[in-house]
A and B are shown apart, each in its own frame.
Chain A
């Protein structure tokens, strides 16, 4: 896995090192991976859905320009998502081709040098006019895929006027197809005819029955979105549930939100969103149970995503009981005896919200139990960190204690002295030695004594 870890620096060794910059810009600046479910912030920067959600829940700022931003204002970056998909499809074959070409060139150069040493000849020969069979074999595949690519582009452009839908689908199917073939080491060829794509449609139909129409509707709604900018500016985020509401309706919405929070049985998970859609959770679980045992399901439609989106909530407004209830409703483990603090529960719920919401954006959404496993793995990694922090502190404390022992001893000695003096002075004045002890202790710990005495 480590050896096969693709990276933009792969391109440095090719004849086109400029591809490094191209790939770098197709990668998320936070995780340095190719974008998954790219989202664009209101300041125009693009990140993976999960990355930006985690960043925003850590601090509500864009990681690049530090402008304040909020999750509900994130938008899909459809073009980037398509770019990444198509880049990912051609990456391996492109790299193999270019590397082979470079190697052939080097070999040719060496050959030429050897030749020039034996007999004076023109210094450079390109790899193409070599009669060496081996090199020709290397150089050959360098050409073929490129030709195919060009042909494929032509077919896409020629199809474009008819309808928008098929080219996108073909992109996806072709990527799936290459993925399925990635195991074989041969150079990946890109399907260049419609027939190829049609072969794969039945499979898609089988596993993702209700997927086709919904993807179409998602496509339409997302493409329509930019044409209604007037509405967007009127939208205001509800302080309770973070949902975007129209300015005029916000007041009543907030009222309902707060009531919803207090109501004895808020509808789980989407408690705060009831005002907008009123979808009960039962439907969610139903949609989950419909799907086969595989790890993934079909992509969510725009409406589904809007409906299933979990509200971010507000740490100070949320009550511990509510957090527990939400966690239970989602089937997430927590300590029933109540040993975990509100902070721990809240962080867990936040991470779950991030995972869940990012999963909604994914082209290849995972099933709920997979997500829950991811949440647990994430928590474990954070837990080791906390553990090590505690270890660090203990370690530091010992070293600190040993190095500064003389200083501490001196401080304690002076404190003892002053306490003796105080005691001597106060035996007649006051009959509350406790206070002076508290004062001396406070001096030792460096806290103002009046506070202690008052407390």
Chain B
């Protein structure tokens, strides 16, 4: 890390610390074997707040899946988050588990990853590759990092880009920063939309 620490780095450090702490406490959780954890902490009541905090980060994951996962790991938001980050998805609960409450745009997205990279996602994180891929934990995706979830639904490719370039170009530092940030967000949103389209194919 660097000597000058910005806010992202701080957040990052905090996440790493929390995850590491969790990891030390219950190493079996990350491997996703439900038997041990559920044995130790049988089905705790999952608070809606926990579900909401995961859903804010990963709106593409269905509430049911989040609830099921939280139930199994004892309402550990960070364990669930880590699992999603690692695998890219959460397994859907068995039909008997709970009533399903699907989220707005998810079902297609949620089902898709398996045909494309399903093998990679479930088998790839074998010990050596996952350790050689850059640190597997602690990095949040860009949409989460810059909290763009709210804009994700309203964003239409191309539209805001045009507005941006036609707006008068002032060159003082402040407006430069505003335009820079806007460009960053739009790039992320556009990449996200493209990836969604790619996965749908």
Contacts and interface: CB of A to CB of B under 8 A. Distances in A.
Direct contact of A and B (CB under 8 A): yes
Q: Is the interface of A mostly helix, strand, loop or mixed?
A: helix
Interface in A265-288: none
Contact of B172 (A3, A13, A392): A3
A395 B172 CA distance: 36
Contacts of A388: 3-4
A10 B171 contact: yes
A12 B169 contact: yes
A9 interface: yes
B168 to A, nearest CB: 8
B171 A7 contact: yes
A63 B72 CA distance: 61
B1 A399 contact: yes
Contacts of A3: 171-173
Interface string A386-405: 00100110011001000000
Interface string B158-177: 00000000001101110000
A2 interface: yes
The bracket for how many chain A residues form the interface is 10 to 19
B169 A2 contact: no
A392 B3 contact: yes
Contacts of B4: 388
Contacts of B173: 2-3
A395 B3 CA distance: 7
A9 B168 CA distance: 13
B31 interface: no
A396 B169 contact: no
Nearest to A6: B171
A399 B172 CA distance: 39
Main secondary structure of the interface of B (DSSP, over half): loop
A395 B171 contact: no
- In this complex, the interface size class of chain B, counting residues with CB under 8 Å from chain A, is under 10
A388 B2 CA distance: 10
Interface in A200-232: none
A55 B97 CA distance: 69
B3 A391 contact: yes
A7 B171 CA distance: 9
Nearest to A387: B3
Contact of B2 (A5, A10, A13, A392): A392
Nearest to B173: A2
Contacts of A13: 168-169
A7 B172 CA distance: 11
B23 to A, nearest CB: 13
Interface string B91-131: 00000000000000000000000000000000000000000
Interface in A51-83: none
Contacts of B171: 3, 5, 7, 9-10
A3 B173 CA distance: 6
A428 to B, nearest CB: 46
Contacts of B169: 12-13
Nearest to B2: A392
Interface string B1-25: 1111000000000000000000000
Interface string A1-43: 0110101011011000000000000000000000000000000
B172 A2 contact: yes
B149 to A, nearest CB: 32
A3 B174 CA distance: 9
A137 to B, nearest CB: 20
Interface centre among A3, A5, A10 (most CB of B within 10 A): A3
Nearest to A392: B3
Contacts of B2: 392
B6 to A, nearest CB: 14
Contacts of A5: 171
A376 B2 CA distance: 27
Interface string B137-173: 0000000000000000000000000000000110111
Interface in A357-407: 388, 391-392, 395-396, 399
A396 B1 contact: yes
B12 to A, nearest CB: 13
A5 B170 CA distance: 11
A346 B175 CA distance: 43
Nearest to B5: A395
A9 B171 CA distance: 9
A2 B175 CA distance: 12
Contacts of A399: 1
Contacts of B172: 2-3
A2 B173 CA distance: 7
A388 B5 CA distance: 12
A305 to B, nearest CB: 37
B145 to A, nearest CB: 22
Nearest to A403: B20
Given A3-B173, A395-B1, A399-B1, 4 more contacts: A3-B171, A5-B171, A13-B168, A13-B169
9 contacts: A2-B173, A3-B173, A5-B171, A7-B171, A388-B4, A391-B3, A392-B2, A396-B1, A399-B1
Q: Which 4 A-B pairs have the closest CB atoms?
A: A3-B172, A392-B3, A391-B3, A2-B173
